[in-house]
Amino acid sequence: MLWALAAVLTVRQAASVLRVPPGEWFSELHLSASTAPPGTLYDAGRFTGTPFAGLVLKPLAGLGAPSSLEVAWTCVTLLLVAAVGVVAARGLPDPVPRRTALLAAPVLVALMMVSLPVRAAAFPGQTAVLPVLLVLLAFFRMPGGKPAGLLVGLAAALQPALLLFAPLLWLTGRRPTARAAAATFAAATVLAWAALPRDSWTYWIHHLAGTGLGGSPDGLANQSVHGALLRFGLRGPGEILLYAALAAAVTWAALRRAARYARDGQLLLAVAVTGCAAVAVSPTGWRHQLLWVLLAVAGKVGERAADRRVWPVAVVLAITLPSAVLLPNLAALAPVRDNVPLLTAVAAACAVPFLPRSSPYWREPVPTVHGRPVAARWARVPLLPFWRRALSRPSLLLELLLIRVGYSVYSHIRAAAPASRPLAERNGSLVHGVEGILGIDIERAVNRAVADTPWVEGFFNFYYSSFHFVVPLGILAVLYWRRPGDYRWARASLGLATALALAGFWLFPLAPPRLMPGLGFVDTVHGAQDLANPSYGAMTAISNQYAAMPSLHFGWSLWCGTVVVVLAPKGWQKLLGALHPLITVCAIVATANHWVLDAVGGAAVVGAGFGLVHVLSGPRGLRVSLPVQRRPAGEPDRLAAVQR
């Protein structure tokens, strides 16, 4: 099944690449005519490879029509990606459990197919995957000596920063291989100088190692230390000296760590660490060259079983999702958001404390304490065996990443939900008519009364726009710190309720009262909307304004009230928790942002969220199931500390 998933993702990636018009293939090589004079690789300003790479790619212009090259290049690139996954999976340190050996290759191939480096490297003229495969073959499939050095040297000729693998070979005792790698790189570079002198001068002298080719060196695509310093506003000799010092420090730390991991039997991790450092210290480290970061998941981090997933999840998120999804668009976070791939690569190369194989926790980490499962109340709906309620506090980094990514996915799906104005208005008329039959169509009277009372209007506007996110995040933070077991229960119920609400946004687009023409509602929060404008002004351009049923403004507030009433130890705290959804439902009606039935829908999805958690993982209060752990002599009882 995993191989089938990898195949589907491969086909999807191929379809995406093949949408490029045939006439644009290899256009960055400036080879539109077969009679192009030598020394014109960089005239178009888009080619970023070395002169040796151009020398290898140049004959392709005469092999066939652009359409045939399109298909051939795509197929070869994706096959190289699959080969990287297979070779890397076989390079895992022994002993490898049978389950891991079977699953590693298809999982890695699938992850690479959706990663940002492969999605960029599969396009015309990019050769970032081939150097990775050459290095992996040199370290894992060649017996050593000159053949392995030849592969490393060719990889460095295509991507000069990969010459950093020669010192790694030297430090790990493969000195003939290191010398062969350096000699091959020198021979390929001299050959390119002889064949393409003008291009070689442009690449190595005028644009030092390609800096500035294919885009501005301070652009976000340049995920190297040099690019980050330029984005920080540093220029001139001072920036060059600082870059040289930082590059030397990263190289020294990474090579030391890589040599240590290689001697420890973790050769794949050593290769990944060196590759991450090579991209970081290169003058231009393009996103499509960051495949090494994904290979760094081979390392194990953390003594607790609950911490083992933090590093792999962080790497996968950083290498597969755009930075805007991982971090909010705040000016204070811009230095981090703009350099997420670089920071991940530097962390893998220099900072992440990977466990040595000699650690007693390498194979048997401190187990996670789980609640003892109970029988389901409905025999036909059994508890899911893999959904066990952990009672210890989860990793804060992992939680923050998942919350941010989850909310970003929610925002994208909500924005992509159907937003047909005629359908939304018809549904609005339907809801308004049903409320009239039920005698609960109070929205216009409440809205008008609030709009005529300035201080009440100001209060509800502030409450509507200020507490929607602050209160749920505050409750989650308190539960995380004080009640970790209940935190997981509350978080899961909130996530399931939000997922169910997304289905409502898709199936029932609904115009809120403020966007219903002819009913006389006043939008007290957003100001007057131009109902004659098909887009209803600027607000509908920000998000889908027809995603109103169910109301998550009320749903999230009801979740907050329920959690506080159930868990708060004092009566006044329970009272505040109960007041929050009551004030929220008044605010959404008074500001004309929701119908009363929207609140009913919000209550329904929240109730379903709590119910699903109960069905999937049992009641909130579970007995503690204490695992048996054999700890090494002299080691502290970490399990007892976790339980406390």
Does the pLDDT of residue 538 top 60, yes or no? no
pLDDT band of residue 630 (cuts 50, 70, 90) is very low
Does the pLDDT of residue 23 top 80, yes or no? no
Does the pLDDT of residue 624 top 60, yes or no? no
pLDDT band of residue 621 (cuts 50, 70, 90) is low
Residue range 248-267: mean pLDDT, rounded: 94
Residue range 246-266: mean pLDDT, rounded: 94
Where exactly are the structural domains of the chain?
A: 1-19+63-351, 389-528+540-624
Position 642 scores a pLDDT of 44
Answer with the residue of higher pLDDT: 214 or 354. 354
Does the pLDDT of residue 320 top 90, yes or no? no
> pLDDT (tens digit, 9 = 90+) per residue, 452-490?
888 988 888 888 888 888 899 899 999 988 888 788 889
pTM over 0.85: no
Cis ω before 322 (30° cut-off from 0):
no
Q: What whole-number distance in Å separates Cα of residue 484 and Cα of residue 488?
A: 7
Instruction: Give the contacts of 253 (CB within 8 A, at least 6 positions apart).
Output: 349, 350
Ordered DSSP codes for 519-580: S----TTT----TTSTT-SSHHHHS-TT--SS-HHHHHHHHHHHHHHHH-SSHHHHHHHHHH
Position 421 scores a pLDDT of 79
Residue range 580-592: mean pLDDT, rounded: 90
Does the pLDDT of residue 586 top 50, yes or no? yes
Poorest-pLDDT segment among 76-85, 178-187, 206-215: 206-215
Position 625 scores a pLDDT of 45
Answer with the residue of higher pLDDT: 63 or 115. 115
> pLDDT (tens digit, 9 = 90+) per residue, 99-126?
777 888 898 898 888 888 888 776 666 7
DSSP assignment letter at 172: T
Position 26 scores a pLDDT of 55
Q: Which range has the top average pLDDT, 257-266, 334-343, 406-415?
A: 257-266
pLDDT band of residue 604 (cuts 50, 70, 90) is very high
Does the pLDDT of residue 33 top 70, yes or no? no
Does the pLDDT of residue 166 top 50, yes or no? yes
Position 256 scores a pLDDT of 95
Does the pLDDT of residue 191 top 80, yes or no? yes
Q: Where is 307: in which H helix or E strand?
A: none
Does the pLDDT of residue 352 top 50, yes or no? yes
Position 516 scores a pLDDT of 83
Position 135 scores a pLDDT of 94
Position 117 scores a pLDDT of 87
Cross-strand bridge partners of residue 286: 222
Name the region of 634 (left: φ>0; alpha: ψ -120 to 50; beta: rest). Answer: left
Ordered DSSP codes for 233-259: T--HHHHHHHHHHHHHHHHHHHHHHHH
Would you state the structure tokens that stand for residue 346, as one six-digit string? Answer: 């530097």
pLDDT band of residue 377 (cuts 50, 70, 90) is low
Position 622 scores a pLDDT of 55
Q: What whole-number distance in Å separates Cα of residue 44 and Cα of residue 221?
A: 18
Alpha carbon separation from 160 to 77, 129, 256, 472, 489 (Å, rounded): 20, 14, 20, 50, 51
Position 163 scores a pLDDT of 93
pLDDT band of residue 19 (cuts 50, 70, 90) is confident
Question: pLDDT > 70: what percent of the chain?
Answer: 83
Cβ 298 vs Cβ 269: under 8 Å: yes
Would you state the structure tokens that stand for residue 597, as one six-digit string? Answer: 């039935």
DSSP assignment letter at 485: H
> pLDDT (tens digit, 9 = 90+) per residue, 296-306?
998 999 888 87
Answer with the residue of higher pLDDT: 505 or 401. 505
Cis ω before 21 (30° cut-off from 0):
no
Position 628 scores a pLDDT of 45
pLDDT band of residue 641 (cuts 50, 70, 90) is very low
pLDDT band of residue 378 (cuts 50, 70, 90) is low
Alpha carbon separation from 51 to 158, 194, 201, 282, 421 (Å, rounded): 8, 10, 9, 17, 55
Poorest-pLDDT segment among 86-100, 280-294, 311-325, 379-393: 379-393
> pLDDT (tens digit, 9 = 90+) per residue, 197-226?
888 888 888 888 878 777 788 888 888 999
